[in-house]
Amino acid sequence: MLLAGKKKSTLNALKQQLNSAFSMKDLGEAEHILGMRIKRDRQQYTLHLSQEKYIEKVLDRFNVADAKLLECHCRPKDDDAANYMKNVPYASACGSLMYAMVATWPDIAHAIGLVSRFMANPGRAHWEAIKSILRYLKGTKGKCLCYGKGPLELKGFCDSDMAGDVDTHKSTSGHA
């Protein structure tokens, strides 16, 4: 169980209450949870969340080596690709990437959205796109989210393209 609070006395009282009702052990401050590394700097009032070890496990699991550019030109597949894709863990790779996206890598959301559209019927180009995302994560696995105290600054970004989808020629726009 993960407990958090502002006052140490309140936190200790809650721990004692829980300990009287349940058999439990105090493991101290959380350092890892659900594949995320937690690093605190109390003097700077910052909290860093990283999934470096998780990304390394995913990269090893799907045998991804050198980093390449991230792009997805997804055309319909042929019969040879259907046979090839029977032995590829496409849905599992999509799921692993989605977990990383939700936890600490929001920048891959658009790419994951593209490749997950083809989960029911993927082709070689789709698998190559998955491997490109994995290579991108390999190159950025040391990065983390950092939450801190101080003045909040709201930044916004937007982008769009005209008929950028090579399959449907639809336009795409997005913002963050």
pLDDT in tens, 56-76: 888 888 877 554 544 444 454
Question: Burial letters for 116-152: b for 16+ Cβ neighbours within 10 Å, e otherwise?
Answer: bebeeebbbbbbebbbbbbbbbbeebebbeeeeeeee
Spatial CA neighbour of 150 closest among 59, 44, 31: 44
pLDDT tens column, 89-121: 999 999 999 999 998 888 899 899 889 988 888
Count the alpha carbons within 13 Å of 21 in the hemisphere toward its beta carbon. Answer: 6
Mean pLDDT of 142-157: 81
In the Cβ-directed half-sphere of 17, how many Cα atoms lie within 13 Å? 7
Residue 137: pLDDT over 70: yes
